[in-house]
Amino acid sequence: MPVQTKRTTIYLDTDLHKALRLKSVESSKSISEMINEAVKVSLAEDAEDILAFEERASEPLISYEEMVKRLKLDGRI
């Protein structure tokens, strides 16, 4: 089943657009395909970050000052 698409307009920096056009020719992929892939990667990274935050939500909080003291005691600063 084909993926539904939605047409949109984006504004790119001129040099970025030129680079995308060149990569499009070399990779035989459309600029739309490359942008879709880049957005998917970015969203997947966000999802991983959200999971990591949720997994650590129950950890006790530590203040900046306490962290600096621990680093100093450990000889790392």
Average pLDDT, the chain: 96
* Any domain includes 42: yes
Residue 45 structural domain: 30-77
What is the pLDDT averaged over residues 31-54?
A: 97
Residue 1 confidence (pLDDT) above 80: no
* Any domain includes 71: yes
Give yes or no for a contact between 53 and 62, defined as CB atoms under 8 angstroms apart.
Answer: no
Give yes or no for a contact between 24 and 30, defined as CB atoms under 8 angstroms apart.
Answer: yes
Confidence (pTM) = 0.70
* Any domain includes 2: no
What is the pLDDT averaged over residues 13-33?
A: 98
Q: State the DSSP string of the chain.
A: -PPP---------HHHHHHHHHHHHHHT--HHHHHHHHHHHHHHHHHHHHHHHHHTTTSPP--HHHHHHHHHHTT--
* Any domain includes 54: yes
Give the number of domains in the chain. 1
Residue 19 confidence (pLDDT) above 90: yes
* Any domain includes 9: no
Residue 2 confidence (pLDDT) = 79
What is the pLDDT averaged over residues 51-77?
A: 95
* Any domain includes 38: yes
* Any domain includes 66: yes
